[in-house]
Amino acid sequence: RKEVEQDPGPFNVPEGATVAFNCTYSNSASQSFFWYRQDCRKEPKLLMSVYSSGNEDGRFTAQLNRASQYISLLIRDSKLSDSATYLCVVNMWGGGSQGNLIFGKGTKLSVKP
Amino acid sequence: EPEVTQTPSHQVTQMGQEVILRCVPISNHLYFYWYRQILGQKVEFLVSFYNNEISEKSEIFDDQFSVERPDGSNFTLKIRSTKLEDSAMYFCASRTTPNTEAFFGQGTRLTVV
């Protein structure tokens, strides 16, 4: 049983394209949600938190649908520097859990000139 | 900007040897974690630590693993008798509360030969 599932990718897109990442999670008790990005052989870095109302940060928009247990990330006007692996992350806390992060396998994005 | 620091960046050890991976979390953070990532696989939770004790651990974190916060700044992961399958990138993370952004160190690449 996969707890956090993501599009397998890779996504190869031209500069300026819009790209969407999807993620589903299995545990309805999950409390909070994040998108992290990971460059090759580097640590995960927070891209954005995901809120029920949806949130936007510049070219990035994240959406959460708790009823469907679905999270998305949209990148508009993609840049070469957006090339990375995008990790969907679910945070478990409460009921004895102290903020255990559950990671998806990630979706690799390559933005080409 | 405050950051989580890990040492060493790369450790090569012989099978059966003990290794200690070191981390200095961000100074005002209270929750500490170890994760690992085997090459090509997802980031996996190992253990969480709060108030000087383990608060949660995964199935991976068996008797050969231990964690310690020997002083006010360091947080260590010890692997008592390394196996080939322990080869992975080990990430330390810290955060202020169990529901906020987790900051990751740059990782220690452990190679067991």
> According to the 3-state scheme, what is the secondary structure of chain B?
CCCCEEECCEEEECCCCCEEEEEECCCCCCEEEEEEECCCCCEEEEEEEECCEEEEECCCCCCCEEEECCCCCCEEEEECCCCHHHCEEEEEEEECCCCCCCEECCCEEEEEC
Of A45, A33, A34, residue with least CA distance to A82:
A45
Predicted local confidence at residue A99, as pLDDT: 83
In chain A, what are the helix, strand and coil shares in percent, each to the nearest 5? 5, 60, 40
Does B91 contact A43 at a Cβ distance shorter than 8 Å? yes
Q: How confident is the model at residue A1 (pLDDT cuts 50, 70, 90)?
A: low
Segment A2-20, tens digit of pLDDT: 689 998 889 999 999 999 9
Give the pLDDT score at B73.
87
Q: Give the closest of A43, A49, A99 to B95, CB-based.
A: A99
- Taking only the tens of pLDDT, chain B with its 113 residues reads 789 999 999 999 999 999 999 999 999 999 999 999 999 999 999 999 998 999 999 999 999 999 999 887 899 999 999 999 999 999 999 999 998 889 999 999 999 99
Partner-chain residue, chosen from A43, A49, A102, that has the shortest CB–CB distance to B106 = A43
CA angle A69, A71, A74 (to 5 degrees): 160
Number of Cβ within 10 Å of residue A53's Cβ equals 7
Residue of B nearest to A93 (CA): B98
Per-residue pLDDT at B43? 97
pLDDT score at B99: 86
A101–B44 CB contact, under 8 Å: no
The reported pLDDT for the residue numbered B16 is: 97
pLDDT of residue A95 exceeding 90, the answer is no
pLDDT at residue B70, as a whole number: 85
Q: What is the pLDDT of residues A30-85, one digit of tens each?
A: 778 999 999 998 999 999 999 887 899 999 999 999 889 999 999 999 999 999 99
Residue A58: alpha-carbon gap to chain centroid: 16
The partner residue sitting opposite A103, judged by closest CB among B42, B58, B97, is B42
pLDDT of residue B71: 86
User: Chain B residues with CB inside 8 Å of A103's CB?
Assistant: 42-44
User: Residue A52 has what pLDDT?
Assistant: 80
